[in-house]
């Protein structure tokens, strides 16, 4: 009984040590636990042809798919992403160039970006999800799935699984980080007052052209910015046109600058789209014209032949020549009508044969047009037909 207090003291000390280590382990685990990675949905592109229930199912599933494990990922929905980017710079929304993606990561304070799209019809839907590193601006990977004979619920579930599969792969892939270079401060460094910025307004023609300052997009058509004194390069670009670069020098305390950039058509695009050479292409207008001429020509030839046959016949419905001394004189109109009919028939047959030997055209030919009206001077009917081959 004399040793009981000693045993109690030992037990109390042991219990205190165990509790101390336990609390220390919990604190250490909380300290070293990785914070949730922010995932921003840069774009959720749902085809207009998708059934409404399929679009709703996919839009509803993307959030829960990312937040399935909220300890790892923090979800930034498409609306919040777009509002944040537009508030900083409208040109960032919908831009997937490297510079835009890096800038979006800074604006949204996110590390991973997702661009998801769903398209298809007749219960066959294609799912595509791209993942971007918002620190480096590079695409990490792309997941694609096809849902065949699927309901809206099945399509939404497969869409969610595709998003989660890509996130697991991204999580397992080491990503490079960009750290700003260390600034070397010398003892003699003197702080200078910030230089006064100069207003710069840029206009590009055609107005659809994209205006860029270095790697940073400024907008389309017309853009304004403020620049500190120095050397810059403005760029105007548009598909089908030659990219134009304009060097700009900003002087200290300079006046506002307005720059016009005129884009010239790309000669290679013009040459590639020209129709001067190559094989003859099939044309719906040519085929329709050929059949119309053939039918009209056949009718004209038949009418002319009838007029030639009628020439010299008596004008009476019944009777002999002695009873009906007058006869039809239709030689001249018969020859003219017959000749015109044969010309039209021959031309129609030629166009039909020409189209039969032509190659399939890449673009549909313009349709033929017909106009009916009255000549205001003579009051006679007028038929006008126009087309292009």
**H/E element holding 53?**
helix 52-66
Residue 40's CB: how many other CB atoms inside 10 A? 27
Phi/psi at 319 (5° precision):
125, 175
Domains of the chain: 37-172 (3.40.50.10070), 198-266 (2.60.40.1120), 284-386 (no CATH)
The tens digit of pLDDT for each residue in 341-384 reads 899 899 989 988 888 887 665 444 444 444 444 444 444 444 44
Residue 80's closest CA among 104, 61, 99? Answer: 104
Phi/psi at 28 (5° precision):
-65, -40
Enumerate the β-bridge partners of residue 41: 114
CA 265 to chain centre: 20
369-374 and 381-386: which strand pairing? antiparallel
Residue 71's closest CA among 104, 131, 105, 29? Answer: 29
pLDDT on residue 82: 86
- Calculate what percentage of the chain has a pLDDT beyond 70: 70
Name the band, by pLDDT with cuts 50, 70 and 90, for residue 314: low
pLDDT on residue 32: 42
Q: Out of 143-147, 215-219, 226-230, 334-338, which region has the weakest mean confidence (pLDDT)? A: 215-219
pLDDT on residue 296: 92
Residue 208 contacts residue 221 (beta carbons within 8 Å): yes
pLDDT on residue 279: 54
The tens digit of pLDDT for each residue in 204-228 reads 988 888 888 887 888 888 988 888 8
Burial 16-28 (b: 16+ CB within 10 A, else e): eeeeeeeeeeeee
The tens digit of pLDDT for each residue in 2-46 reads 444 444 554 455 555 444 544 444 444 444 444 678 888 888 888
Residue 259 contacts residue 200 (beta carbons within 8 Å): yes
Residue 239's closest CA among 266, 213, 221? Answer: 266
pLDDT on residue 18: 43
Question: Any idea what DSSP says for residue 228?
Answer: -
d(CA 41, CA 62): 9
198-205 and 222-227: which strand pairing? antiparallel
Write down the mean pLDDT value for the chain.
Answer: 76
With tokens 């601006």, the residue in question is 137
d(CA 351, CA 348): 5
């Amino acid at each position: 009984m004399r040793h009981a207090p000693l045993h109690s003291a030992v037990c109390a000390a042991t219990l205190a040590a165990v509790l101390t280590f336990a609390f220390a382990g919990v604190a250490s685990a909380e300290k070293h636990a990785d914070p949730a990675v922010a995932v921003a949905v840069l774009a959720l592109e749902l085809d207009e042809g998708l059934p409404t229930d399929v679009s709703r199912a996919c839009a509803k599933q993307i959030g829960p798919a990312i937040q399935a494990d909220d300890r790892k990922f923090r979800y930034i929905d498409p609306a919040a992403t777009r509002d944040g980017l537009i508030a900083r710079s409208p040109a960032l929304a919908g831009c997937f160039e490297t510079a835009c993606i890096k800038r979006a990561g800074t604006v949204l304070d996110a590390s991973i970006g997702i661009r998801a799209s769903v398209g298809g019809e007749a219960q066959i839907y294609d799912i595509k999800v791209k993942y971007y590193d918002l620190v480096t601006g590079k695409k990490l990977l792309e997941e694609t799935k096809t849902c065949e004979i699927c309901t809206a619920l099945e399509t939404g579930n497969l869409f969610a699984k595709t998003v989660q599969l890509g996130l697991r792969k991204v999580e397992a892939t080491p990503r490079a980080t960009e750290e700003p270079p260390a600034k070397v401060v010398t003892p003699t460094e003197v702080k200078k007052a910030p230089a006064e910025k100069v207003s710069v307004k840029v206009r590009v023609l055609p107005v659809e052209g994209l205006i860029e300052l270095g790697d940073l997009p400024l907008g389309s058509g017309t853009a304004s910015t403020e620049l500190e004194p120095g050397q810059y390069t403005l760029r105007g670009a548009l598909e089908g046109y030659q990219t134009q670069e304009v060097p700009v020098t900003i002087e200290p305390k300079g006046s506002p600058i307005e720059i016009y950039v005129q884009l010239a058509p790309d000669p290679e695009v013009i040459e590639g789209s020209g129709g001067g050479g190559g094989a003859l292409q099939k044309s719906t207008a040519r085929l329709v014209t050929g059949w119309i001429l053939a039918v009209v020509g056949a009718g004209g030839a038949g009418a002319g032949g009838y007029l030639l046959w009628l020439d010299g016949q008596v004008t009476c419905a019944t009777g002999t020549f002695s009873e009906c001394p007058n006869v039809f004189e239709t030689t001249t109109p018969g020859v003219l009508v017959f000749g015109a009919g044969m010309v039209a028939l021959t031309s129609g047959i030629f166009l039909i044969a020409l189209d039969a030997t032509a190659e399939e055209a890449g673009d549909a030919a313009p349709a033929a047009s017909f106009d009916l009206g009255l000549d205001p001077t003579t009051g006679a009917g007028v038929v006008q037909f126009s087309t292009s081959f």
